[in-house]
Amino acid sequence: MRYPVEETAAKHRRLVDAASRLLRAKGLDGVSVGEAMKAAGMTHGAFYSHFGTKIEMAEAAIAHALDEAHEEIRQLIEASPDARSTFLDSYLSRAHRDNAANGCTMAALAVEVGRHAVGRSTFTNRLKRSIQQAASGFSWGKRRSARDQAILMTAAMVGAVILARAVDDPKLSDEILTATRRELV
């Protein structure tokens, strides 16, 4: 049957949001179309009323998650004079490490973006924007280029969270986060 326009749009938003969390937690091959639809409160058959392929959904989900993160950081920069240190604390936290579903899209999906073509240009634009945001919005040491420092910080944070998640030993995992934090301050 036909559904009210706004209701359909709301379901679409729920699907993209649910997909972005599931993908961050389980990766592209770890999430089925049916699972994403179920998380959005529908059955799998309706999927193709929302997206042409699973890949298209993934691209939308990645763009959505990256945009959400950008907005959060924008607010952080606006609100706090010491935004960089606040951001480091939350990014390199146990909470972030243990909650990939709601965490950084780069740490969760960059490897898969690199492997398949999925969301590559989306990812590129958003990373560019994110580096600019960090370089100009955070405060940096005067000796070296702010942009270089922003790139190093981004790479180190992403790498640290990925490694901390891969590791068995809770002491080592915590140490990866705290040592990276100490070095980046």
Partner DNA sequence: TGTACATCAGTGAACGCGCGTTCACTGATGTAC
Q: Which residues bind its own copies (CB under 8 A)?
A: 25-27, 29-30, 100, 106-108, 110-115, 120-121, 123-124, 127-128, 144-145, 147-149, 151-152, 154-160, 162-163, 165-169, 172, 175-176, 179-180, 182-184
* Cα angle for residues 102, 17, 58 (degrees, 5° grid): 95
Shortest distance, position 27 Cβ to its own copies, whole Å: 6
Shortest distance, position 16 Cβ to DNA, whole Å: 12
Shortest distance, position 33 Cβ to DNA, whole Å: 4
Is residue 112 a contact residue for DNA (CB under 7 A)? Answer: no
Integer Cα distance of 36 and 28 in angstroms = 11
Is residue 42 a contact residue for DNA (CB under 7 A)? Answer: yes
Integer Cα distance of 122 and 60 in angstroms = 9
Interface segment toward DNA; rule CB under 7 A; list 49-57, 85-93, 104-112, 117-125:
49-57
Token digits for 105? Answer: 């899209």
- Confirm if 91 and 104 have CB atoms less than 8 A apart: yes
Which of DNA, its own copies, none sits in contact with 146, Cβ below 5 to 8 A by type?
A: none
State phi, psi for 24 to the nearest 5 degrees: -65, -35
Integer Cα distance of 16 and 92 in angstroms = 26
* Cα angle for residues 126, 5, 2 (degrees, 5° grid): 125
Q: Which of 124, 132, 17 is nearest to 74 (CA)?
A: 132
Which of its own copies, DNA, none sits in contact with 172, Cβ below 5 to 8 A by type?
A: its own copies
Interface segment toward DNA; rule CB under 7 A; list 47-55, 103-111, 146-154, 169-177:
47-55
Which residues bind to DNA, rule: CB under 7 A?
1-5, 7-8, 11, 31-35, 37, 42-50, 53-55
